[in-house]
Amino acid sequence: MANESLRIIMNQLKDLTAQESVIFNLFHTNSTINKVIDMLRQSNSTILATELQTTVQHKVKFSDVLYLDYVDRNVCLYTKNATYWVKNSFIRILTQLPSHFIQISKNNAVNIYEVKSVETNIGGNLIIKLSTDEKLVVSRRYIKNFKAFLIDQA
């Protein structure tokens, strides 16, 4: 094939009761298309969490979560607009996370799509800057897996 370009067509729905859908017209799939399909499937997965300020429970989309932090036997979920907590073990929550989350320390996992930049500090740790300009530390123990994850996501 001389022309390898991919035509992308998006239609914005006006009727709020209409169901969103994605249609692929492909000759074959590849790893990139498979990642996109996986991402789309996971974009609506949720977890029931309690808002920190109001103690009201909400269904929180994992796609809205910036990062997770395990504190005092609770997992805190940080979004751009609120903080939630789930009374559960960090290990159990890690097994429920979509594939675009990566553990970066003993008590933290991050949504890779919210990472804006990565830099190295003097101590050998990596510092990641999120879309909200918050900074998190990738501890030395998790650097190898984090780098491999970044390469795999490219």
pLDDT in tens, 121-138: 887 889 999 999 999 999
Residue 75 forms part of a structural domain? yes
pLDDT at 1: 44
Any bridge partners for residue 68, and if so which? 77, 109
What is residue 121's predicted lDDT score, i.e. its pLDDT? 85
Instruction: Supply the range of the domain harboring residue 95.
Output: 42-152
DSSP state of 44: T
Report yes or no on 37 lying in a domain.
no
- Cα 29 to the chain's mean position, in Å? 23
Q: How far is CA 4 from CA 7, 33, 124, in A?
A: 10, 15, 42
Q: How many domains does the chain have?
A: 1
Residue 96 maps to a domain: yes
Residue 66 lies in a domain: yes
| pLDDT tens digits, one per residue of 14-58 | 887 877 788 888 888 887 777 777 777 766 788 999 998 888 999
Per the domain annotation, does 54 fall within a domain? yes
Average pLDDT of 60-81?
94
Q: Helices H, strands E: what count in the chain?
A: 3, 10
Residue 22 lies in a domain: no
Which tokens go with 129? 């800057």
- Cα–Cα distance, 64 to 44 (Å, whole number): 10
Q: Looking at residue 47, which CATH number applies to its domain?
A: 2.40.50.1020
Does residue 30 sit within a domain?
A: no
pLDDT digits (tens, 9 = 90+) for 71-125: 988 999 999 999 999 999 999 999 989 888 999 999 999 999 899 999 988 878 8
Q: Looking at the domain assignment, is residue 33 inside a domain? A: no
